[in-house]
Amino acid sequence: MTLYSRVRPLAFKLPAETAHELGKRTLRGVQSTRPTRKATAYAYRFEHPALEVDLFETTFPNPVGVAAGFDKNAEVTHALEALGFGFVEIGTVTPYPQAGNDRPRLFRLREDEAMVNRMGFNGDGMVRVKERLERDGAPDVPLGVNVGKMNASTEREAIEDYRRVFDRLAPFADYVVVNVSCPNTPDEFDEASPAHLRAIFETLEAENDEHVPILVKIGPDDPEESVLELVDIVQAFDLDGLIATNTSTSRDGLRSESREEWGGLSGKPIAERSTAVIRAVADYTDGELPIVGVGGVDSAERAYEKIRAGASLVQLYTGFVYGGPSTAKRINRGLVELLERDGFATIEDAVGADLD
Ligand SMILES: Cc1cc2nc3c(=O)[nH]c(=O)nc-3n(C[C@H](O)[C@H](O)[C@H](O)COP(=O)(O)O)c2cc1C
């Protein structure tokens, strides 16, 4: 029995956001001294040359990262590295601090191994996040920065929001993500309309002297035509990749009491849908556009499905909440076994293996 399997029932008695805050406090403790970071890395990091991924002009020590939303304000990136994740994505970071929606706004759906959240882009804002990154330094694993707009921004103001956060935080990032797929922010306009996306990408392109890779994060609920239309725009602007997917508004097949809460659904119930989006994009682009797969990854098998469907990297949030601190190690160890079973020398050889 692991320590987490004993702690989890207690943590799950607390409101979900309180448990998350306690977890983060523990991670801040881990991160605060070199010996605790080293001891944690010793216990939890799993390294294997077959897991390395060269992408975005950097090397990911393994393909399993932490998805946006877990460490919105860059408070625990070093602790997450010590827990064995191959990369960390901070954010969504907005230009100014924002309170988000009223609590409760995060719900566990235990029977479904899922969560619903309507956090609403709560966060410290770009200035504090930048100060923190300057103070703590970026982790040794690649760092993604997910950028967003203020909830109250108009269509035109939104573009300036993305530009400002990009300008401040891109210097710390190995890649930047434009997040236009959050289902629980109150938008006055269609964030993912082609005209709006073009305006955002034009603005960021003009700002991007250092050629920091730019990715776009998409949702799981859009019909395939709109996803592929977005891929056309991404390719027209020569952007560097897609993150698929964000949370879902669907509630199909759920059993837990909290299924009626409004917000974005994450975890096991969205795994298949998110893999289908990955496969559709990889098929459409002949595997030429890098994809980061996210949605319901909780085991090596679920990660491997996304990789074989065309994802070069995967991320998780909900699977980490249910699986605890050894999640990355367990998935990475399992991935090496799956590669050996199928005769792939490296994880990169398995990317898109299921495509025709
Ligand atoms: C509580 C919570 C907060 C999240 N916040 C963000 C966010 O700020 N920006 C973002 O792009 N995605 C956010 N996400 C979505 C995750 O990054 C991820 O795309 C989604 O949860 C699916 O992955 P999972 O099934 O592994 O959780 C959030 C998810 C959760 C559960």
> What are 303-338's pLDDT values in tens digits?
999 999 999 999 999 999 999 999 999 999 999 999
Q: Please state the length of the chain.
A: 356
Tell which atom from ligand 1 comes closest to the C-alpha of 123. Answer: 8
Q: CA angle, corner 111, sides to 106 and 112, nearest 5?
A: 70
Phi/psi zone of residue 296: left (φ > 0), alpha (ψ -120 to 50 degrees), beta? left
Q: Probe ligand 1: pick from 64, 109, 242, 266, max atoms within 8 Å of CB?
A: 266
What pLDDT is stored for residue 223 in this prediction? 93
Rounded to the nearest angstrom, the distance between the alpha carbon of 282 and the centre of ligand 1 is 22
> Quick check: helix, strand or coil at residue 277?
helix
What pLDDT is stored for residue 122 in this prediction? 95
Amino acid at 6: R
What pLDDT is stored for residue 47 in this prediction? 97
- Is any atom of ligand 1 closer than 6 Å to the C-beta of 100? no
Q: What is the 3-state secondary structure (H, E, C) of 303-342?
A: HHHHHHHCCCEEEECHHHHHHCCCHHHHHHHHHHHHHHHH
What separation in angstroms does the CA of 94 have from each of 118, 146, 159?
16, 9, 12
Q: Is the CB of residue 179 less than 8 Å from the CB of residue 246?
A: yes
- Is any atom of ligand 1 closer than 6 Å to the C-beta of 106? yes
- Is any atom of ligand 1 closer than 6 Å to the C-beta of 151? no
Exposed / middle / buried, residue 340 (Cβ in 10 Å: 0-12, 13-18, 19+) = exposed
What separation in angstroms does the CA of 32 have from each of 79, 132, 222?
9, 13, 42
Query: Phi and psi for 316 in degrees, rounded to 5?
Result: -150, 155
Please give the radius of gyration of the chain, using alpha carbons only, rounded to the nearest integer: 19
- Is any atom of ligand 1 closer than 6 Å to the C-beta of 146? yes
Q: Is the CB of residue 132 less than 8 Å from the CB of residue 126?
A: no
Distance in angstroms (rounded) separating the CA atoms of residues 254 and 268: 10
Q: Is the CB of residue 139 less than 8 Å from the CB of residue 78?
A: yes
The DSSP secondary-structure symbol of 49 reads G
- Is any atom of ligand 1 closer than 6 Å to the C-beta of 95? no
Q: Probe ligand 1: pick from 175, 217, 246, max atoms within 8 Å of CB?
A: 246
Residue 121 neighbours by CB distance under 10 Å: 23
Rounded to the nearest angstrom, the distance between the alpha carbon of 345 and the centre of ligand 1 is 31
Distance in angstroms (rounded) separating the CA atoms of residues 306 and 309: 5
* Topology given in CATH for the domain delimited by 3-350: TIM Barrel (3.20.20)
> Quick check: helix, strand or coil at residue 291?
strand
Look at ligand 1, atom 15, and give the residue with the nearest C-alpha. 246
Those residues of the chain that have pLDDT short of 70 are: 1
| Angle between helix 126-136 and helix 155-169 axes, rounded to 10 deg | 10
Q: Which of 79, 106, 115, 182 is catalytic?
A: 182
Domain boundaries defined on the chain? 3-350
What pLDDT is stored for residue 164 in this prediction? 98
Is residue 182 annotated as a catalytic residue, yes or no?
yes
- Is any atom of ligand 1 closer than 6 Å to the C-beta of 79? no
Tell which atom from ligand 1 comes closest to the C-alpha of 91. Answer: 8
Rounded to the nearest angstrom, the distance between the alpha carbon of 317 and the centre of ligand 1 is 6
- Is any atom of ligand 1 closer than 6 Å to the C-beta of 119? yes
Sheet holding 106-109, edge to edge: 106-109, 114-117, 264-267
Distance in angstroms (rounded) separating the CA atoms of residues 47 and 329: 9
- Is any atom of ligand 1 closer than 6 Å to the C-beta of 318? yes
Q: Are strands 264-267 and 241-244 parallel, antiparallel or unpaired?
A: unpaired
Q: Is the CB of residue 166 less than 8 Å from the CB of residue 176?
A: yes
Q: Which helix (H) or strand (E) holds 156?
A: helix 155-169
Q: What is the 3-state secondary structure (H, E, C) of 19-40?
A: HHHHHHHHHHHHHHCHHHHHHH
Q: Is the CB of residue 350 less than 8 Å from the CB of residue 304?
A: yes
Tell which atom from ligand 1 comes closest to the C-alpha of 321. Answer: 27
Tell which atom from ligand 1 comes closest to the C-alpha of 318. Answer: 27
What separation in angstroms does the CA of 356 have from each of 278, 279, 286, 294?
14, 10, 9, 22
